Amino acid sequence: MTTVAYREGIMSCDTMGTWSGDVNYGNTKVGRTANFLMGFAGRFSDARMMYDFVAEMDAEGIDPAQFYKHADRLPDELDIQTMLVDARTGQMWALFDTGRCAPLPCDYDAIGSGGRFALGAMAFGASAREGVEAAIKHDESTGGSAKSFTLSGEPFPPF
């Protein structure tokens, strides 16, 4: 699947992807809108749909706690985990396929198949990037190299 980790204003991801049993590298599993940084784990084709949803919510000034009111804009049967960080407040959110968001009351987190390896490393002081690097070493579905992104900068979609 993948690993995405966040800590202290930095979100990191691995670069491995699979397609019909083939492995490829160079993927960017993080996207940024004007006010949100988000990381994706799951069906990568669904990442762009979730990114577009968040971009719409951001452009309309809708708070993540209210995203669910606009869930009809999402297609049915998404299969994606999304970690969302509000660049204005630093608040992390778990964004579900249904458009519902839950605030994450923690200083760091990780998602994806290698998330438990990244969380373990970060529990002992590792950065988000080091957490992803630990997952690359130990999770068979995480690979390539680690890429890191900050809360500020120009918007970009995943891929």
Instruction: Give pLDDT, residue 14.
Output: 98
Asked whether residue 58 is domain-assigned, the answer is yes
List, for residues 116-154, the tens digit of each pLDDT value. 999 999 999 999 999 999 999 999 999 999 999 999 999
Q: Over the stretch 11-27, which tens digit does the pLDDT of each residue have?
A: 999 999 988 889 999 99
- Cα dihedral 4, 104, 75, 115 in deg (nearest 10): 30
Longest dimension (CA), the chain: 41
Per-residue model confidence (pLDDT) at position 18: 87
Query: Domain limits at 123?
Result: 4-19+24-149
Residue 97 forms part of a structural domain: yes
Domain containing residue 62: CATH number: 3.60.20.10
pLDDT tens-digit series, residues 14-66: 999 988 889 999 999 999 999 999 999 999 889 999 999 999 999 999 999 99
What is the number of domains present in the chain? 1
Q: Tell me whether residue 135 is in a domain.
A: yes
